[in-house]
Amino acid sequence: MRRRQLIAAGASMPLLLALPGLSAAARGAAGGGLFDDDTVPSLARASAARAYAPPVRTLPPPLDTIDYDQFRDYRFRPERALWRDTGAPFQAQLFHRGFLFKDRVDLHLVGDGRATPLPYRRDRFDFGPQVQPPDDPALGHAGFRLHAPVNSDEYFDELCVFLGASYFRAVARGLVYGLSARGLALGSGDPGPEEFPLFRAFWLEVPAVGADSMVVHALLDSPSVAGAYRFAIRPAGEETLIDVDARLYPRVELRNAGIAPLTSMFEFDPGDRVGVDDFRPAVHDSDGLALFNGAGEQAWRPLRNPPGVSHSGFQDEHPRGFGLMQRKRDFEQFQDAEGSYERRPDAWVEPLGDWGAGEVHLVELPTGNEFADNIVAFWRPRAPLAAGREHRFRYRLHWGRDHAWLPQLARVVATRTGEGDGEGARPRLFVVDFDGGRLATLAADAAPRVEASASAGELRNPVAYRVAATGRWRMSFELMPAGTAEVELRARLLDASGEPLSETWLSRWPA
């Protein structure tokens, strides 16, 4: 998976119009006409009932041969932004096809119960010194981005972008783009090629003056599944919220479906930089997987750049949430004046409704640079998604920083490991720092209890103490590994009555 070099989405409306069993609204939306809540689901159901037809990627010269630098000159003209002069709180800008984004994505505007196709127009774009493509309305687009007042009321900042396969990203106040979400993941990290479903068409509801949210509908398609998505996008200052209603119609049984997938990058940080020769202390968009399970336990799993593909499954029933988070928020922790990694957003998935039994699945891939997205996290239902029926998942995506679940619990802020002392076989020393919650109010001579366990080997010398220089509490223990077996570790701090003072720290050794 190359970072931001994604498989572009595309569509063919004549194909959609030919699908059997479409409602009048669906046929109208495909060609321009009636639109209601069942329009895109009707299109998805009809698409799933027949064999998958890949999008046409044919482009006219010079679009079929332009490279990255040439594609960068293809810029949407801000003065042509949709709804710019209407007083609406949202604007939309469009992406040109070309370079990696060759597949056509068809865009529509929805207002007063009707859908209107949004054809390509060359005069919406600047091309720099590059040769202009033909002014063909059927050329379509590669995707779009939404703008809204995010950092001030006077300026429309980029809020979110839908570009490539089923990828989309968002920001909130004071943040820059980082990790991505996807509509669906199929086979991430598994042997064999990964399947990348595409958003083949979008319907953008025209925002009213004074609206606090923007609604976007999308049609997803791939060889294995079709789907209908509704996104309600709401900038809320410190957070941007996207409510997702996903309705999936598998063509075949899906045993490896990844629901609400998040994709990020982790190269190294002070806890995982073996062999790294870089002036920066850390390079990552996210540094941990956060979990809030159905039993009410809050947990933190630091991310790693493993030597080989690594899968971790966190079994759960009725999950309350999970996310890929960036807890380092100071420039000093990265020292990258261009990357601004301290300003990359968290993305937190909050299920709306009961998701039943399954697992939060984490895939960590090895990477030697910061240009590859090597981290994927998603929900995998325990039961396969059966073919020929609807499977519905609703959830809210929180894009922001420092999302809190149980504020009374101290959070993990640093994980370090190194060789411990001893004769003969050397133990592995783990040091975990916590901050906040009820721990912050404990006296320095308090004695929190360390609750720690390992799936193999032996744990020794667990201890917790306050670090005078930082005011934070530190937990440490030693692991005597059992041969070459992988060891799953978990630990937390408890008070005298056995109630948790901290979230649960999770890790694997060797990474």
Question: pLDDT 10s per residue in the chain (511 long)?
Answer: 344 333 223 333 444 544 444 444 445 555 568 999 999 999 999 999 999 999 878 899 889 999 999 999 999 999 999 999 999 999 999 999 999 999 999 999 999 999 999 999 999 999 988 888 999 999 999 999 999 999 999 999 999 999 999 999 999 999 999 999 999 999 999 998 999 999 999 999 999 999 999 999 999 999 999 999 999 999 999 999 999 999 999 999 999 999 999 999 999 999 999 899 999 999 999 999 999 999 999 999 999 999 999 999 999 999 999 999 999 999 999 999 999 999 999 999 999 999 999 999 999 999 999 998 999 999 999 999 999 999 999 999 999 998 889 999 999 999 999 998 866 678 999 999 999 999 999 988 888 999 999 999 999 999 999 999 999 999 999 999 887 778 999 999 999 999 999 999 999 998 6
Count of C-beta atoms within a 10 Å radius of residue 307: 10
pLDDT number for residue 367: 96
Give the per-residue pLDDT at 356.
97
pLDDT for position 25: 44
Question: 406, 503 in Cβ contact below 8 A?
Answer: yes
Cut 0.85: pTM above it: yes
Enumerate domains of the chain plus CATH numbers.
Answer: 13-400 (2.70.98.10), 411-509 (2.60.40.10)
Long-range contacts at 312-315 (CB < 8 A, ≥ 24 apart): 312/361, 312/362, 312/364, 312/508, 313/359, 313/360, 313/361, 313/362, 313/380, 314/359, 314/360, 314/361, 314/362, 314/506, 315/358, 315/359
Q: DSSP code of 500?
A: B
Is residue 474 within 8 A of residue 467, CB to CB? The reply is yes
Residue among 139, 181, 168, 123 nearest 11 (CA) = 139
Q: How far is CA 276 from the centre of its chain?
A: 26
**Residue bearing tokens 């030919």:** 18
Spatial separation of the C-alpha atoms in residues 352 and 260, rounded to whole Å: 12
Residue type (1 letter), 338? E
What H or E segment, with its residue span, contains residue 27? helix 24-31
Q: Is the dihedral of CA 124, 126, 127, 132 positive or negative?
A: positive
Q: Is 194 exposed, middle or buried (0-12, 13-18, 19+ CB in 10 A)?
A: middle
Q: Which helix (H) or strand (E) holds 24?
A: helix 24-31
Question: 377 to each of 168, 362, 491, how far by Cα in Å?
Answer: 15, 5, 22
Measured from the Cβ of residue 277, the count of other Cβ atoms closer than 10 Å reads 5
Residues 489 and 304: their CA atoms lie apart, in Å, by 14
Q: How far apart are CA 276 and CA 298, in angstroms?
A: 31
- Of 426, 433, 413, 502, nearest in space to 474 by CA: 433
Number of CB atoms found within 10 A of residue 51's CB: 7
Q: Is the peptide bond before 62 cis (omega within 30 degrees of 0)?
A: yes
Q: C-alpha 468: how far from its chain's center?
A: 37
CB 108 within 8 Å of CB 201: yes
470 close to 447: Cβ distance less than 8 angstroms:
no
pLDDT score of 24: 44
Q: What are phi and psi of 28, to 5 degrees?
A: -65, -40
CA angle 434, 439, 444 (to 5 degrees): 100
CA 235 to chain CA centroid, nearest Å: 17
